[in-house]
Amino acid sequence: MARQMTDRRWLTAIIHGILLTLVATAPVWAQDAAEPATEPAADVDKTAELQTGAVITPEAQAVLDRMRAAFMGMKRYAVTAEITRDEVLPFGYKLQNNESARMWVDAPTGLRLEVDGDIKNRTYIYDGKQLTMFAPDNNVYATSEAPPTLGELVRNLLDDGVEMPLIDLLYEGYTGSLTDDVRVGLVVGESEVDGVATDHLAFRQPSVDWQLWVDKGAQALPRKLLITTRYAVGDPQYQAILHWDLKPRIDAKSFVFVPPSGATKIPFHTELVARGEQK
């Protein structure tokens, strides 16, 4: 069940009061912060590359090419994502919201995405002819005509400013490249995500920094994604840990929407799909 908005406004009001009190009574010692510790030389080098570079290194591009080849070879799969996203409140105070997303794909015309989180619960279904959005908490749904392929659908949604969980992965697999606007990208090193050996990559775009952990095995699939929005108060972050099933059992009925009893059909608005606002 999504967190009630009344609770959120209550929490925001309390945080407001606490922060106003702290600002008004800030002690003198707060101005005497200790000097930051010196970064290790290796970290300094990485930071310098991200700040001044203007190219994706060959090593990073090779990992991306492997990942894209893996995507292009997949037509039927399922992926589960455990997601956290920051919500910035007044004075830059951040709340971390949790979300689970489950996506089934049967390209080029089948998509089902179920989202269960603190802020919203949503189901998105695409069948090659129309896109349906269902909000179970409100028991309302909306439908819209859609293009005949998943790649075209993803492109249209992004052009309309729609943000859906895992849409970046679909974009990379079917219609474009996540590095279109990247100023610099490099391999940070090797890491493990849920016991899987990965290459850890870092990228910088004009207003966003993002990191990607890609499986080092034969199937070069992304295992973790971290996005930091720069120049926004609090530098909010979005993180997703990904689990893949390359041989899923997918019933054809998964891509057919049958309205639940008592459900109300409402006009389809991209704002409703993007932000998950309650109506």
94-112 pLDDT, tens digit per residue, is 999 999 999 999 999 999 9
Angstrom CA distances, 166 to 78, 81, 145, 171, stand at 11, 8, 21, 9
pLDDT at 177 (0 to 100): 74
Hey, what are 121's tokens?
Answer: 């619960």
pLDDT at 24 (0 to 100): 38
Average pLDDT over residues 56-65: 94
Among positive and negative, which fits the CA dihedral 88, 89, 90, 92? negative
Determine how β-strand 140-145 pairs with β-strand 130-135.
antiparallel
Could you give the angle at which helices 167-174 and 58-72 cross, rounded to 10 degrees? 90
Pairwise CA distance, residues 224 & 194, whole Å: 10
Determine how β-strand 140-145 pairs with β-strand 264-265.
parallel
Please check whether residue 107 is in contact with residue 150, taking contact to mean a CB–CB distance below 8 angstroms. yes
pLDDT at 140 (0 to 100): 95
pLDDT at position 259 over 80: yes
Q: How confident is the model at residue 261 (pLDDT cuts 50, 70, 90)?
A: very high
In the chain, where are the structural domains located?
42-275
144 SS3 class: strand
For residue 279, give the amino acid letter: K
| CA end-to-end distance (rounded Å), the chain | 16
Hey, what are 65's tokens?
Answer: 């090419």
pLDDT at position 38 over 80: no
Residue with tokens 């010196």: 38
Does domain 42-275 fall into CATH 2.50.20.10? Answer: yes
Name the percent of the chain lying above pLDDT 70: 76
pLDDT at position 71 over 80: yes
Burial of 37 (0-12, 13-18, 19+ CB in 10 A): exposed
Q: How confident is the model at residue 11 (pLDDT cuts 50, 70, 90)?
A: very low
215 SS3 class: strand
pLDDT at 47 (0 to 100): 53
In this prediction the pTM is 0.76
168 SS3 class: helix
pLDDT at 268 (0 to 100): 84
Q: Which residue has the higher pLDDT, 148 or 49?
A: 148
Hey, what are 237's tokens?
Answer: 């972050």
Hey, what are 228's tokens?
Answer: 């930091």
Q: Find the range with the poorest average confidence among 7-16, 21-30, 136-145, 176-185.
A: 21-30
Q: Which residue has the higher pLDDT, 194 or 17?
A: 194
